[in-house]
Amino acid sequence: MAPVARHTSRRSRLRRIPFLRILFLAVCVIFVVLPLYWVFVTSIKPSDDYLAIPPVWFPDKPTLVHYTAALFAYRGLNGLINSLIVSISATFLSCLFGTLMAYSLARFNTGGQHLSFWVLSQRFLPPIAIVLPIFLNYRVLGLNDTHVGLILAYTVFTLPVSVWMMFAYFRQMPRSLEEAALVDGCTRWTSFWRVAVPLAIPGIVAAAIFTFIACWTEFFFALVLTSRNAYTLPTVFRAFLSFQGAQYGEASALAIVSLVPSIVLGVLVQKHLVRGLTLGAIRG
């Protein structure tokens, strides 16, 4: 008797809740997926269908012409490659220095109470206030419109956030783990690499994602500090809004292309992010 009763009650509960749940999810999907779908569909529509009334939801003759135009005629491919070079390099450097710096702040209390806050305070400065001085400095140093220049700027600007994310991570990590490693036979350096860093990987991955997204979508610095050589993907979009009208198809095509690395990254690191959430349960 009892199992049957439980079974039916569970089923009725399942039947009651999903209606609201499905409604909620449906609204979310409309808000999130519909614009994305519209962008995608626009990127494969012939130009005449952009503003057609009624709207064209399923183009009859899909075309890839906007993709070739955006990537080659508008040199979006170069922008994509530049963006990848700059974002990956800046992410790597930001996470490397961020991890080292955060470890030093968390374990050795480097700079006393104030240095860690000072690091974060660097983010209080609006970028627009310093982009021109940087531009002038770069002109003297010959760093304008170079990958190195943009990588340097992005590394510096993402470092405070990487440091703070890693700082929080290292601070909650029990000291005794590294102390055990020191007694077991490690030096400070090997205990850092073999114990602290492996345990911090979820934090490093999270910091890397934030940094990468910040670099990938950055527009303002790229606009000022680059022109013909080192221009990044976001700056390419300028070309689509001209006095001749808006190139909706090309803009949409490039938007879809620019999504790809984020999606790949998301799939690759998902495992680590989930692991990061459960890492806290190790002690007990």
Partner 1 sequence: MSDVKITGLHKRYGAFHAVRGIDLEISDGEFAVLVGPSGCGKSTLLRTIAGLEEASSGTIEIGGEVVNDYRPRDRDVAMVFQDYALYPHMTVANNIGFGLRARKMPKADIEARVSEAATMLGITSLLGRFPRQLSGGQRQRVAIGRAIVRNPKVFLFDEPLSNLDAQLRDEMRGEIKRLHQEIATTMIYVTHDQIEAMTLADRIVLMRDGLIEQQGAPLELFERPATTFVAGFLGSPRMSFLPGKLVLEGPTHGVRVGEVMLPVPAGRTLNGAHDGMSVLLGLRPEHLTRAQGEQPAEGVYRHEARIELIQPTGSRTYATFRLAGEPVNAELQAHDVSRAGQQMPIDINMMRASIFDADTQRAL
Q: Which spans of this chain sit near partner 1 (rule: CB under 8 A)? A: 174, 176-177, 179-187, 190, 194-195, 198-199, 279, 281-284
- E-strand stretches of the chain: 241-242, 245-246
Residue 137 or 187 with smaller CB distance to partner 1: 187
Q: Residue 60 corresponds to which tokens in the numbers above?
A: 């009859």
Nearest distance in Å: CB 274, partner 1: 15
Partners of residue 242 on adjacent β-strands: 245
Nearest distance in Å: CB 281, partner 1: 7
Nearest distance in Å: CB 175, partner 1: 9
Residue 29 or 183 with smaller CB distance to partner 1: 183
Contact 269, 205 (CB under 8 A): yes
Q: How far is CA 267 from CA 30, 255, 262, 263, in A?
A: 23, 19, 9, 6
Nearest distance in Å: CB 282, partner 1: 4
Q: Residue 184 corresponds to which tokens in the numbers above?
A: 């077991």
Residue 202 or 249 with smaller CB distance to partner 1: 202
* Alpha-helix residue ranges (DSSP H) falling in 172-232: 175-184, 188-191, 197-217, 220-225
Q: Of 94, 107, 270, whose CA–CA distance to 173 is shortest?
A: 107
Nearest distance in Å: CB 277, partner 1: 14
| Whole-angstrom distance, CA of residue 13 vs CA of residue 110 | 56
